[in-house]
Amino acid sequence: MTALPSLTSRQGLVALTALAGSLVAAAGVLMPNGLDVAAALRRARPPVVPAAAAPAVAPAPTMERLSAMFAQGQQLQPVQLQQLLAWSARTASAATLTAIADRLSGFAPVPTAQVTYDIVASGRPDVARAFLESRPERAEPANWRLRLELHRTTGDLAFAQSMVRSAATRPGTASAEDFVSAAYAVQLPEAILTAAEHRAIPALDQTKSLDLVRHAVNSGQLSLVPRIDRAGTPAWRSADPWLAMNLAQRAGDFSTALRYAALLPTGAADARRALIIASGDKAAIRTMLLAEGRSNAKLLPSAAQQLLDTGFRADAVALLREGCAACSPDDDAARRLLFLMGPRPDADSLAWLRAKAQGSEGWAKAYAQRERPAQALAFIEGRHDADTTPVLLERMRLAGAARDRQAGIKALARLLDGRALTAGQARAMTAASPAGLDKATTRALVEARVRAGAALPKDQLDLAWDGWNRSDVPGARDHLARYLATQPGDAAALRLMAGIERKGGGDRAARPWLEKALAATPAPSFDRAEILEQLGRTDEALALVQTLRRAAPADARLKAAAGRLLVAAGDPGKARKVMQP
């Protein structure tokens, strides 16, 4: 019997399963299990080989280390030099920075401008200036403005100005923008003109031309203006016609000045006027002033005054007369004309005034004030309005000036016809009244003042006495009451009121007023003795009279009063003795 090959347990299982005729079961048995998969994976993984150790990298040196290496003369890479230069800009000296830059320049371009700006940013402009001056790039146009500003801001203005002057005659030294701004910064704006003349910058435009002209005027360098016109443009004048006008006027070119005056946005007429006056051309001035006065009533007075100041008096008077064709004496032109005529005008002026006075009360007064009084009075008296209050007052004034008393009294009588007067008119009437008026006219004058509210301090008292003397007790009382309201301490007025009250109410009504009069009467005095007597205080009155007689024994009034008081006191014997011669 042939020996069968040995079978694994798996193979045996398969065989047995096949024999059993179950293909499906055989297929399920053939699928690998988890252990089989794990074994297969272990067989497929390559053997682990220990990794070799990575070579160690040296750390980059710090900036402090690079600085020390550079100081020791060690060789540094270009990138290290660039880093060291940028880092050192904050604190290193100019010499150190220059040395680093020199070493770097052998390998790569040196960022001179950037380093300089970094030094400035660290607050060390002096170091920045020294570093930049050590570099050959300082002369490059890109660094020109930086170099100039470093010298200017560190106090070396003279060097900065020398740079501007040099660049002004050397095209290409600096850009036009840098040059112009630098020239202003170092206070050399005139160098801009020089640069334009040497073509170091483009021709000056209108704005730059105007700015330089203004600088030339302000600095007193007017000789620069023609050069500016050549190197720039004369069109600056249209941008500033006022400046153009003034320069033309200074040069004596008044026609050109007038042309630019017409271009002024405002004040063209005033500028033209000032130019003509400044020119000294009297004919032009006369023509201008006459035209002004005739075209504008507001300018007429001033135009006439300037004609007068310029020597054209006749023209001034004629211009004012034209302007016064329909004006009143209170208008500006009329006042100026009357001033020019003066207090005693010539015959021609008086004739003109007389013609104006025919139809105007105001002009009639102006004429009367300047004509001889007698002639003026005759003219005024013949006017249609001769009896109006203002004209009557003027007639009184003229009558006084002409010493015509009768004319004055005649005008006063018209004014005292009961018409209403203002306080001012009443005062003017009183001032112009002739002296020595009769009582009736005087009373009427006082009454007119009182009615007008222009009473003099004693007017009410005078009317009270007038009423008392005419036995008009009520009228006297009314006037006296008004007077005492303003003068309560007038002893004589108080005694008069006592007399008025006695007439109506006897001694009892008079007594309060006598008491007031006594308080207002000084002692010792005869008036006080009389008041004491009227009050029935006989003993006091007698004692006061005797005191007064010792000082004046020959006074007849005191003698009579003493006799009267002695009788009243019951001593007629003494009274007879006193009354004996």
Query: Residues 521, 531: contact at Cβ < 8 Å?
Result: yes
How big, in percent rounded to 5, are the helix, strand and coil portions of the chain? Answer: 70, 0, 30
The phi-psi region of residue 176 (left if phi > 0; otherwise alpha if psi is between -120 and 50; otherwise beta) is alpha
Domain membership of residue 57 (yes or no) is no
Tens digit of each residue's pLDDT (9 = 90 or more) over 549-575? 888 888 888 888 888 888 887 878 887
Select, from the ranges 19-28, 217-226, 301-310, 521-530, the one with the highest average predicted confidence (pLDDT): 217-226
Based on the fold, state whether residues 482 and 410 are members of the same structural domain.
no
pTM for the whole thing?
A: 0.44
Domain membership of residue 562 (yes or no) is yes
Based on the fold, state whether residues 461 and 492 are members of the same structural domain.
yes
Query: Residues 495, 517: contact at Cβ < 8 Å?
Result: yes
> 43 to each of 8, 30, 31, 40, 357, how far by Cα in Å?
21, 20, 19, 5, 150
> What's the CA gap between 201 and 178, in Å, rounded?
10
Q: Give phi and psi for 434, each to the nearest 5.
A: -65, 155
> What's the CA gap between 450 and 430, in Å, rounded?
12
Based on the fold, state whether residues 465 and 525 are members of the same structural domain.
no
Based on the fold, state whether residues 420 and 481 are members of the same structural domain.
no
Based on the fold, state whether residues 404 and 490 are members of the same structural domain.
no
Residue 381: which of 371, 369, 391 has the closest Cα?
391
> What's the CA gap between 85 and 96, in Å, rounded?
9
Q: Would the pLDDT of 193 be above 90?
A: yes
Domain membership of residue 478 (yes or no) is yes
Last residue of a domain, one of 509, 543, 572: 509
Within 10 Å of residue 185's Cβ, how many Cβ atoms?
A: 17
Based on the fold, state whether residues 402 and 464 are members of the same structural domain.
no
Encoding tokens for residue 536? Answer: 């029935």
Burial 230-248 (b: 16+ CB within 10 A, else e): ebbbeebbeebbbbbbbbb
Tens digit of each residue's pLDDT (9 = 90 or more) over 477-500? 888 888 888 888 888 888 888 888
Who's near 437: CB < 8 A, 6+ residues apart? 409, 412, 445
Domain membership of residue 436 (yes or no) is yes
Last residue of a domain, one of 477, 509, 541: 509
pLDDT computed for residue 22 by the predictor: 33
Q: What is the mean pLDDT of residues 105-128?
A: 94
Based on the fold, state whether residues 450 and 462 are members of the same structural domain.
no
Tens digit of each residue's pLDDT (9 = 90 or more) over 318-354? 888 888 887 888 888 888 888 888 888 888 888 888 8
Domain membership of residue 2 (yes or no) is no
Based on the fold, state whether residues 394 and 426 are members of the same structural domain.
yes
Based on the fold, state whether residues 403 and 489 are members of the same structural domain.
no
The count of structural domains within the chain is: 3
Domain membership of residue 423 (yes or no) is yes
Based on the fold, state whether residues 415 and 433 are members of the same structural domain.
yes
Range of 392's domain? 360-454
Encoding tokens for residue 510? Answer: 């008079």
Query: Residues 66, 83: contact at Cβ < 8 Å?
Result: yes
Within 10 Å of residue 106's Cβ, how many Cβ atoms?
A: 8
Q: Would the pLDDT of 547 be above 70?
A: yes
Based on the fold, state whether residues 449 and 534 are members of the same structural domain.
no
pLDDT computed for residue 57 by the predictor: 57
Based on the fold, state whether residues 494 and 409 are members of the same structural domain.
no
Q: Give phi and psi for 127, each to the nearest 5.
A: -65, -40
Domain membership of residue 34 (yes or no) is no
Select, from the ranges 8-17, 174-183, 263-272, 285-294, the one with the highest average predicted confidence (pLDDT): 174-183
Q: What is the mean pLDDT of residues 263-284?
A: 77
**Among the ranges given (245-249, 423-427, 455-459, 558-562), the one the predictor scored with the smallest mean pLDDT:** 455-459
Residue 192: which of 173, 161, 214, 164 has the closest Cα?
164
Domain membership of residue 183 (yes or no) is no
